[in-house]
Amino acid sequence: MNAKQEEFLKKREKLLEMGGMDKIAKQHAKGKLTARERLDLLFDKGTFVEIGMFVKQRKTDFGLDKKYIPGDGVVAGYGKVNGRTVYAYSQDFTALGGSIGEMTGEKMQRVMRAAIRTGCPLVALNDGAGGRIQEGNDIPHLTFVFNQSVKASGYIPQVAAVMGPCAGGCAYSPALMDYIVSVDKTSTMFLTGPKVIKQVTGEVCDENFGSGRFHAEISGVSHDLASDDYECIEKIKQYLSYFPQNCQEMPPVYACDQDPDELIPELNDIIPESTSKSYDVYKIIKLIADHDSVFEYYGKWAKNLVTCLARLNGRPVGFIANNTKVRAGVMDIDSSDKMSRFVTLCDAYNIPLVFLADVPGFLPGIGQEKGGVIRHGAKTLYANSAATVPKIRLTMRKFYGGGTAAMCDWGHEPDTTISWPGAEDAVMGAAGACEIIHAAALKKAREEGGEEGYRAKLKELSDDYELQFNNPYRRAEIFSTEMIIMPEETRKVLIKVLDSFYTKKVDNWPPKKHGIFPV
């Protein structure tokens, strides 16, 4: 080894130590792994190729030239995740808090551009203090990063993990990606922190403010919550397993040793006879899907709707189901946002959609109308209509009112519509409908027979209404339901339908630049 090689090895060794042993110890004491440890967990052993290790910031303001910022605060490169190439950057909090300066931004963009050029997914591991304050706004590094993310959006899968602070403008970077997973207790994300909020509005934030749980359960910014860094990386790998490398490929197919013609008798008794009783829709999805294949997206937010990635006979599929255990599965502002995002995500990456409908309609209320439920609800109609992947709607029980449009009704061009025998299909529930269309007869019944007479008449009229509308046959007769099946046949029918629609092709018509998504 000559002197130059020795010097190189020394430099490399020092850079691999990141911000130094004391900073690494601090990082560990907070329950966080380092940027390099995280990448080691993400990539298959020995596959990571690092770029830009020797990058150095060149600013001098506020003593920046005296600061040691190895790699300028971010580790970047590519490698294999379960055998497939993935690009990644990992912010290094031990190097000036992982703050983003000119060269940091350049490194982040470099891997993003390469990921787009090669058609491979991008993983961003965030643990940084935001824009580097000492550098001011000389170069808007972060806006270049946002720009790359927008270019990549819908072309390659983009995953953001929030594993520490992600403050200020930095928070927009995960927000532009497809799947955001936050780590409980160690992550924080906000545009303006508690101090600024107190100063400007006088509000006092509690300790949960901006936490991973806050964003997974309340704000809906994060799609998932991990208990620690290990689980976070595991979730990223699992998520990617459902996706193709880019939108021009089909999702990967996994071997499935289950019989594709298997009947699931348990499904016949899963929905209670009484339409006002709830049941476990997660159990239904698990019974229909391949064993251990269900991966929930947005599991802790807007829980009246369930959105899951799963597999059917080895092929990825997106399930969208009303959850009768939460507000009877009614649609509202947040569940509309959740559904339209999930539909758009699956459609972008050629993942077929299965809607499992048991929906009593949209939530009535002044709050919902003030919050713009019309424009939020419209997102579901837009996303469902615009989606060109195979779409299947299965009505398990209720299929009422505006909820029908949200759950991919006939007009949204589902490729197949299926009902279970207990399906009910009407503009609204029988009693509410009769109150309106038979108001005069009910008034007369009350005048003549009091409350008892009124109730008897309402039951008689409701029974008649239900006989006419609340069954699957009326729809089947006008061919807007194509099949009525026993619940136990669901898995085998879905597998056959998806198999036949695998080659579906739709021309985008009429030609246009893009539609105006209602937001």
- By C-beta, is 170 or 373 nearer to ligand HXC? 170
**Preceding amide of 510 cis, omega within 30:** yes
- By C-beta, is 71 or 165 nearer to ligand HXC? 165
Measure the CA–CA gap between 399 and 9, rounded to whole angstroms: 67
Among 178, 176, 183, smallest CA distance to 215 is for 183
- By C-beta, is 140 or 450 nearer to ligand HXC? 140
- What's the closest the beta carbon of residue 317 comes to ligand HXC, in angstroms? 38
Report the SS3 class of residue 499. Answer: helix
**Contact stretch for ligand HXC (CB under 6 A) within 37-45, 161-169, 200-208, 251-259:** 161-169
Between CA 503 and CA 493, with CA 338 as vertex, the angle to 5 degrees is 35
The H or E element spanning position 466 is helix 439-469
- By C-beta, is 183 or 433 nearer to ligand HXC? 183
Strands (E), 377-441: 391-400, 416-419, 424-426
**Contact stretch for ligand HXC (CB under 6 A) within 93-101, 173-181, 209-217, 507-515:** 93-101
- By C-beta, is 195 or 505 nearer to ligand HXC? 195
**Location of structure tokens 């590094």:** 141
Q: Using alpha carbons, list the distances in angstroms from residue 54 to 50, 67, 72, 107, 224.
A: 10, 15, 9, 11, 34
19 CA to centre of own chain: 34
99 makes contact with ligand HXC (CB under 6 A): yes
Q: Using alpha carbons, list the distances in angstroms from residue 286 to 14, 20, 267, 289.
A: 49, 47, 11, 5
- What's the closest the beta carbon of residue 177 comes to ligand HXC, in angstroms? 16
In contact, 297 and 310? CB cutoff 8 Å: no
70 makes contact with ligand HXC (CB under 6 A): no
397 CA to centre of own chain: 25
175 makes contact with ligand HXC (CB under 6 A): no
Among 147, 121, 415, 387, smallest CA distance to 249 is for 121
87 CA to centre of own chain: 21
Binding mask 327-356 for ligand HXC (x = CB under 6 A): ------------------------------
Q: Which of 33, 120, 142, 407 is close enough to bind ligand HXC by CB under 6 A? A: 142
- By C-beta, is 169 or 372 nearer to ligand HXC? 169
**Location of structure tokens 């109150």:** 435
**Contact stretch for ligand HXC (CB under 6 A) within 8-16, 92-100, 478-486, 511-519:** 92-100
- By C-beta, is 116 or 189 nearer to ligand HXC? 189
111 CA to centre of own chain: 24
Report the SS3 class of residue 8. Answer: helix
96 makes contact with ligand HXC (CB under 6 A): yes
500 makes contact with ligand HXC (CB under 6 A): no
In contact, 170 and 100? CB cutoff 8 Å: yes
170 makes contact with ligand HXC (CB under 6 A): yes
143 makes contact with ligand HXC (CB under 6 A): yes
Token digits of residue 393: 């709607």
**Contact stretch for ligand HXC (CB under 6 A) within 95-103, 349-357, 458-466, 485-493:** 95-103
Polymer length in residues for the chain: 519
- By C-beta, is 174 or 360 nearer to ligand HXC? 174
Q: Which of 20, 119, 154, 169 is close enough to bind ligand HXC by CB under 6 A? A: 169
Q: Which of 52, 105, 121, 165 is close enough to bind ligand HXC by CB under 6 A? A: 165
Q: Using alpha carbons, list the distances in angstroms from residue 139 to 68, 103, 133, 134, 318.
A: 21, 10, 12, 12, 41
Residues in contact with ligand HXC, counted by CB under 6 A, come to a total of 16
- By C-beta, is 47 or 134 nearer to ligand HXC? 134
- What's the closest the beta carbon of residue 62 comes to ligand HXC, in angstroms? 9
- By C-beta, is 77 or 210 nearer to ligand HXC? 210
283 CA to centre of own chain: 20
- By C-beta, is 101 or 244 nearer to ligand HXC? 101
Residue numbers 105-134 binding ligand HXC by CB under 6 A: 129-134
- What's the closest the beta carbon of residue 21 comes to ligand HXC, in angstroms? 14
- Give the interface with ligand HXC as residue ranges (CB under 6 A): 96-97, 99, 129-134, 142-143, 165, 167-170
